[in-house]
Chain A
Amino acid sequence: MLKRLILPLLVLCAGPSVTSAEMVFESQLIEIQVGYDENVVTGEFPFEIKDSEETILSFDALCTCLAARVEPLMPDRSAKLHWKPGEKGLIKARFDTSKFVGTVDKAIELKLKGREPIHLTVRVHIPQLIELEPNTLKWEKGGVTDEKLVRIKIKHSEPIRIISHSATNDQTYPYKLKTIKEGWEYELRVQPTSSASSGMGMISLRTDCKVPKFKRAVVYVTTRPARKERSQPAPAK
C-alpha cells in the first residue's frame, strides 16, 4: 500500500514550487521627473531570462491610470508570454499623470508561473505650480475671530494669474484677495464674522494656467471646537 502511495505523492509534490526569480530585472523601481504639462509618461523595466524558461500568467497595472505591456510583441502583436533562457525583453508602463501632483507610486503586478508575484513600481514626481500656505484656515469655536492669511505663490517659469474667485459661506467668512505681484504672488485674508458655531467654507480660485489641473485652487476655512484630547502617538513602526 505504501509503495502504491509513494509515486502519486511524488507527483503531487512535484507541482509548481516557488523558487527564486529567473526573470531578472535591472530594477523593480523607476523614478521619473514629470514636466508640469506632461500628461503621459512611459517607464521601462528591462529584464533578462536566466537559467530556465518563464511563463507570464498576467501583467496587471494596479490603477486605471497605468497601462502595461510586454515587449517585444509577437508577430501577431499579441504579448509574448513564454520566454527562454537568454532572451531579453521589457515591461513598458504608460502612466497617465494628468490628475496628479507631488510624488506618486503606481505598480504593475507581474505573475509568473510557479513564482511569487513581482511588483514593478513607477514613481513619478510632478511639480505643484500653485503653492498655498496654508491650504486651510482654522478658528476655534467660541474663540477669537482674528484675521488669518493664506500666501499664494506661483512656482513656475511663467506667471499664472488668478482670474476669478468665489466662495461658499462668505457671509460668515468674508475674504479679501490682494495681488502682491500679478501672476506670481497673492494674499488671501479671511476674518470670520462669528465663531459662535462650527462652520466651514470654501474659497475657490480660478487661474489662467493652461494645464487643467492647475486651473483651480481651493482654500478651506473652518471653525471647530477646540480639541479636548491631543492625538495619541503613532503606533510602533
Chain B
Amino acid sequence: MKKLLRSSLCLVGLSALMSFATWQIIGPPDRSVECDPADLPEHFVCLSTVEKWPQESILWVDARPRADWERNGLEGAVLLNDQEEWFDLEPEFMMQMLVETRAKVVVYCNQSGCGSSKYVAAQLRERHAETLGFEVFVLEGGVKALKAAQAGGVTPVLRESN
C-alpha cells in the first residue's frame, strides 16, 4: 500500500512538473470557445467572425439578468432580456440604434443554451430589423466566448473580468 501511495505521489509530482514546464514553454491553456461557422445554426455567429467586422457597425446586446450586465457586461452593451418588461428596456436599444446607425446587432447571454439571446434576437429581428435595416446574430458561446477572448487580449472588452 505504501508503495502504491509513493508511486502515485511520484506520478502526480511528475505530472505537475510537466504541466508547469508546458505552461512555461507553450503558454497558458487555450480557453477559447470552439466555434466553427460551418456548424452553426441559422443566425448564430462566432466571435472570430464578429471580430472581423468594423466595431462601429455593431451594437452589442446583453440578454442576461440585469445584475450580470451591471457586473461584467460588455462596454457599450445594451441590456435587453426576457426577465424584465420588454417595453421598459427596448427604448434604450432604439435610442442606441438612433444615435449611431448600426448594421449589425450581436446578442449574447451566459452560454449558448440559455435561450435568452435567441429569444431577444428573434424579437428584434421580427420587430425592427427590416425597418431599421440591421441584421441580428446570436453570439455562439455567449459571455464565455467573450471572457476567453478578453483573456487572450482580444477586443471587445468586458467591464470587469471575473
Are A and B subunits of one complex? yes
B contacts with A: majority SS? helix
One of A5-13, A47-55, A73-81, A171-179 at the interface: A5-13
A138 touches B49 (CB 8 A): no
A119 touches B3 (CB 8 A): no
Known contacts A135-B128, A200-B94; is A103 also within 8 Å of B122 by CB?
yes
Known contacts A5-B7, A202-B91; is A99 also within 8 Å of B131 by CB?
no
Residues of chain B within 8 A (CB-CB) of A202 are 91, 94
B37 shortest CB reach to chain A, Å: 5
B135 touches A234 (CB 8 A): yes
Closest residue of chain B to A136 (Cβ to Cβ) is: B131
A14 within 8 A of B: no
Name the residue among B42, B91, B115 with the largest chain A CB count within 10 angstroms.
B115
B57 shortest CB reach to chain A, Å: 8
A136 touches B132 (CB 8 A): yes
A237 touches B115 (CB 8 A): no
Interchain CA distance A237-B49 in the complex, whole Å: 11
A24 shortest CB reach to chain B, Å: 20
- From the candidates A200, A227, A237, name the one contacting B101 in the complex (CB within 8 A): A227
Residues of chain B within 8 A (CB-CB) of A199 are 98
B119 touches A104 (CB 8 A): yes
The digit string for B10-27, where 1 denotes a CB below 8 A from any CB of A, is 110000000000000000
Residues of chain B within 8 A (CB-CB) of A230 are 103, 133
Interchain CA distance A66-B39 in the complex, whole Å: 28
Residues of chain A within 8 A (CB-CB) of B150 are none
B101 touches A225 (CB 8 A): yes
Interchain CA distance A199-B94 in the complex, whole Å: 11
A231 touches B82 (CB 8 A): no
Interchain CA distance A134-B126 in the complex, whole Å: 10
Q: Which of A183-216 contact B (CB under 8 A)?
A: 198-200, 202, 204, 216
Closest residue of chain B to A226 (Cβ to Cβ) is: B101
B116 touches A63 (CB 8 A): yes
A109 within 8 A of B: yes
A65 touches B101 (CB 8 A): no
Residues of chain A within 8 A (CB-CB) of B122 are 102-103
Known contacts A204-B87, A236-B37; 8 additional CB pairs below 8 A are A8-B8, A64-B65, A119-B113, A134-B130, A136-B132, A200-B98, A222-B94, A232-B53
6 pairs, A vs B, C-beta closer than 8 Å: A12-B8, A135-B128, A138-B132, A220-B94, A230-B133, A235-B46
4 A-B pairs with the lowest CB-CB distances in the bound complex, closest first = A231-B103, A136-B131, A235-B49, A135-B127
